[in-house]
């Protein structure tokens, strides 16, 4: 069977990709046992028992009005946010993840697309600025704006300023923080939107050690439960929901915060180049080589797999499962490539 064979295949490469647990399940080492308890709940979208209590505890940790556990990735969270916001005209970045446009379509609201300039130094898009937001809100009749922060490559917007401006204008703010799930747990990373935005969506599986496709939807506006019930199954995976609870408690624990701090300190001590605002996203380039060629050399010669590449640079994602050994291996490979003529 093809899919079974795929899972059995041994991967000998060093992964700087999502999911960032890199196959080390130290947060949920008993996960295999939990799968035996594949139970059903009759009304998970308006839960009254353990799930509701777990989500309430999570909302206290994040300082939000509501925090919902998602087993359909940030994709489900973004779509549900747009539905829950009751937006009529929404501003959407023309280069955003496809779920932004799909969400607006499903919610039946009018979209107004905006573009952002490409950063010529790295070949990637930078995050939206407050000036751009002001301009957009002054020149459109939008009642909601959806922004991506951080970008895939770790460029973060000034969320505090943007959310204040949106509030003054009576415009709802949805933040796609899919790549920023570690932000609430470290002051050495960009500030998280969870306390500021009306809706913030984070993928736990991308950087925070979660299993595919676990994610979170935080709301300081309406309760997203009804919106979620419109797009989700009525039979969610309880084992996956349990990993979300365990994941959050790990991130918020002394051990979890120490782990995040160690990751940041190791990257910093190895002096990787810093493209964006988030040190855990390593963006590299070499003069005379395209990002694609750099990616190819890393993979073919050094068995290192990157997350994403463009004409100029290559992105290596790190997270909870990235250890010092992996980072030293990457550093040595980069040094060797840089020393090659
Ligand atoms: C910026 C951004 N938003 C949303 C998503 C969707 O996230 P998920 O895979 O958790 O559904 C992605 C996935 O790559 C993404 O890069």
Asked if residue 274 and residue 232 are part of one domain, the reply reads no
Q: What is the domain-level CATH number for residue 234? A: 3.40.640.10
Asked if residue 173 and residue 108 are part of one domain, the reply reads yes
- Please report whether residue 35 resides in a domain: no
Asked if residue 129 and residue 113 are part of one domain, the reply reads yes
The average confidence (pLDDT) of the chain is: 93
| Cα(142)–Cα(144) distance, integer angstroms | 6
CA of 97 to the centre of ligand 1 (A): 6
Give the chain's radius of gyration (CA, Å).
Answer: 20
Q: Which residues contact 252 (CB under 8 A, 6 or more apart)?
A: 61, 185
Burial of 99 by CB count in 10 Å (0-12 exposed, 13-18 middle, 19+ buried)?
buried
| pLDDT computed for residue 43 by the predictor | 54
Asked if residue 268 and residue 230 are part of one domain, the reply reads no
Q: What separation in angstroms does the CA of 338 have from each of 246, 286, 287, 298, 317?
A: 41, 7, 9, 12, 20
| Cα(100)–Cα(96) distance, integer angstroms | 7
Q: Is 93 in the pocket of ligand 1 (CB under 6 A)?
A: no
CA of 103 to the centre of ligand 1 (A): 13
Examine the pLDDT at 228 and tell me if it is beyond 70: yes
Asked if residue 143 and residue 236 are part of one domain, the reply reads yes
Q: Is 176 in the pocket of ligand 1 (CB under 6 A)?
A: yes
Q: What is the domain-level CATH number for residue 7? A: 3.90.1150.10
| pLDDT computed for residue 194 by the predictor | 98
The domain of 232 spans 42-253
**Which H or E run includes 112?**
strand 110-114
Domain count, the chain: 2
- Please report whether residue 15 resides in a domain: yes
- Please report whether residue 29 resides in a domain: no
Instruction: Point out the least confidently predicted range of 150-159, 269-278, 296-305, 320-329.
Output: 269-278
Name which of 238, 275, 306, 256 is nearest 38 in CA terms: 238
Asked if residue 271 and residue 149 are part of one domain, the reply reads no
Q: What is the dihedral of CA 290, 293, 297, 299, to 10 degrees?
A: 110
- Please report whether residue 291 resides in a domain: yes
- Please report whether residue 296 resides in a domain: yes
């Amino acid at each position: 069977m093809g899919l079974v064979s795929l899972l059995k295949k041994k991967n000998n490469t060093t992964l700087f990709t999502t999911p960032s647990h890199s196959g080390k399940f130290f947060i949920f080492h008993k996960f295999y046992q939990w799968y035996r308890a594949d139970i059903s709940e009759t009304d998970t979208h308006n839960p009254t028992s353990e799930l509701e209590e777990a989500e309430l505890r999570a909302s206290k940790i994040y300082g939000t009005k509501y925090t919902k556990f998602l087993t359909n990735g940030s994709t489900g969270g973004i779509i549900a946010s747009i539905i829950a916001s009751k937006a009529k005209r929404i501003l959407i970045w023309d280069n955003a993840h496809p779920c932004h446009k799909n969400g607006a379509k499903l919610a039946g609201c009018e979209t107004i697309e905006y573009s952002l300039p490409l950063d010529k130094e790295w070949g990637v898009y930078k995050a939206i600025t407050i000036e751009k937001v002001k301009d957009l809100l002054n020149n459109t009749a939008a009642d909601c704006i959806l922004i991506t922060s951080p970008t895939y490559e770790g460029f973060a917007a000034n969320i505090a300023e943007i959310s204040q401006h949106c509030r003054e204008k009576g415009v709802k703010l949805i933040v796609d923080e899919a790549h920023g799930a570690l932000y609430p747990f470290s002051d050495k990373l960009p500030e998280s939107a969870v306390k500021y935005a009306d809706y913030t969506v984070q993928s736990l599986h991308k950087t925070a050690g979660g299993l595919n496709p676990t994610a979170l939807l935080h709301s300081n506006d309406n309760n997203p439960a009804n919106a979620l019930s419109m797009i989700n199954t009525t039979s969610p995976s309880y084992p996956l929901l349990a990993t979300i609870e365990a994941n959050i408690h790990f991130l918020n624990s002394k051990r979890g915060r120490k782990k995040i701090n160690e990751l940041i300190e190791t990257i910093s001590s190895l002096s990787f180049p810093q493209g964006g605002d988030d040190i855990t996203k390593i963006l590299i380039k070499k003069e005379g080589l395209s990002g694609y060629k750099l990616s190819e050399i890393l993979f073919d010669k050094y068995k290192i797999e990157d997350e994403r590449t463009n004409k100029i640079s290559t992105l290596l994602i790190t997270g909870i499962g990235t250890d010092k050994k992996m980072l030293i291996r990457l550093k040595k490979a980069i040094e060797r490539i840089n020393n090659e003529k």
